[in-house]
Amino acid sequence: MFPKKIVLSLTTAISLLTPISTLAQEPCDTLAGMGIIHDSEEAGLEHFKLFGMAQYQIGHVDGTDSAGNSFSDTHNEFRRIWLGADVKFLRGFLFKSVLSVTQGKHAATGDQDIEFKHFRNLYLSYDASKASTAFSDYDRFEFGYGRRSLKLADEWQRSAYLFNPVERSPFSNKLWPTDEGGSHPVGAWFRAAQGKNDFQIGLFSTTQDNEFPGWQDGTALYSQWEHDMTEGSNFDHKKLILSVFSQDTDLSDDQLARGNEWGASAILRLHKGPWEVHSTIGAGENGGTTNPDRLGDFWGLSIMPMRWLVEDRLKLVTRYQLQSADAPEGIRLNSRYARSAGAKGDADLSLTGGRGDEHHNLYFGINYYFCGDCMKIVSGIEYDDIETTGGITVFKGWTVSSAFRMYF
C-alpha cells in the first residue's frame, strides 16, 4: 500500500508555500545576481559569472519484483552539487566550466562523499557573429572545443536545474550520450543559427576521464537541427528539434551512451497560454556487449503535458513514457529507486537489474517556484511497469519523490 503520510506531507507543504513566497522577492533578486562578478559592455573581460547548483531529494518506492515479492525503500541524498564559471571576453570568446562534487549516494553502500568527481563542462568557444561583420547576418556562428553535453531527448535539452520532473524518464536517459560516470565527452563542434534555424555538428571522443579526456578510443558524431515554427501557427511557441548520434568503437574501447551504436530523436514543443506539451520520439541500437539478450534495436516515446496553475509560481507536470526493445533485456529502469533498493541487498529481490523489453512510466507532479528556476521544489508520483519476454513482470510499483533545487 502506498504510504499516505508521504503524500499528505507533500500536499501540506505545497499549501504552506504561497504565504512564504510573498516574503522572498528581495532574496530572489539577490540569488539571481549573486554569481555575477563582472559585467561590462567594454572590450576585454566582458562577463564573469560563478555558478553553483545544489539538489537535495528524497524518494520512496513501493513495488513488486518478478517473483511477486513486495518491497519498499526510502532513499534521501544530495542528488547533485555542481560548481562552475562562465567567462566571456574579447567579443565572442566563452570559457565555460562546470564540475560535479557529488552525483548522489552509492546505490549499494549508501555512502556519499562530497569531493571532486569530474568536469561536466570544460570548453572554449568562439562566436564570430559577435565580432565580425562578415557573420553579422547570423545569430550565432560558433566554433568550440572541449567537454560539453550532447542532447537528444527533450528532457536532456534542459540542464538538471531547469527540467521539470524530479527525474528524467528512463527512455530519455537511454538516448543520452554520456560516459560511465555520467559526464560529457570532449570534442570539436560547429554551430550556426540564423532566423528560424539553428544547426550544429561535432566530432567527439569516447575516451573517458574525470578531468580532460584524450582521443585514445573511438569517436562519436553528433548533429542537431532546431527549427522554429511559431510564425503563422496558433501557438505562442512551436519548435521542432531533430538530433542524431552514432559512435565508431570496438568492445575494448571506452564507449558513450552505455555502448549504443546510434540513437536519433525528434522533439516537438508546443506552448499556448498556460499550457505546454513537450514530446520526444526516438530509436537506436544497443551495443557495447556480447550478451545477445541486451543487443538489438530499441525505440520509445515520451509525452509531457504541463500547465501553469498559478503563473510563474505553481506548475502541473505530467508525463507518459513508453520504451521497447527487440531483446529481452534491451531497456532498463533508472537507477533510482527500485534498482537502488535491490542493490542494497536488504532483501532478496528478483529485478534482473531492472532490465526488460517493454516499459511504461506514468508521472504526475507539482512544482512550486520560489524564485523561478533559481529556487523551487519539484515533487511527483510515478508508476512503472516493466516486463520481459512472455509478459513476465520485472518490476511494477509506485514511487513518490520530492527535490529542492537551487542555483545561481
Per-residue pLDDT of the chain (408 residues), as tens digits, is 545 544 554 554 455 454 555 545 778 888 888 899 999 988 899 999 999 999 999 999 999 998 888 999 998 999 999 999 999 999 999 999 999 998 888 766 778 888 999 999 999 999 999 988 899 999 999 999 999 999 999 999 989 889 999 999 999 999 999 998 889 999 999 999 999 999 999 999 999 999 999 999 999 999 999 999 999 999 999 999 999 999 999 999 999 999 999 999 999 999 999 999 999 999 999 999 999 999 999 999 999 999 999 999 999 999 999 999 999 999 999 988 888 887 776 555 778 789 999 999 999 999 999 999 999 999 999 999 999 998 899 999 999 999 999 999
Task: Report DSSP state, residue 389.
Answer: G
Asked: is 4-37+51-77+129-407 a CATH 3.40.50.300 domain? The reply is: no
Q: Which residues pair with 347 in a beta bridge?
A: none
Q: Where are the domains of the chain?
A: 4-37+51-77+129-407
**CA-closest candidate to residue 291, choices 336, 353, 341, 244:** 353
Burial of 232 by CB count in 10 Å (0-12 exposed, 13-18 middle, 19+ buried)? exposed
CA-based torsion, 198, 204, 208, 210: positive or negative: negative
Phi-psi region of 104 (alpha: psi -120 to 50; beta: other; left: phi over 0): left
Dig out the grid coordinates for 253 from the structure.
574501447
The Cα–Cα gap between 297 and 66 comes to: 24
Residue 226 pLDDT: 98
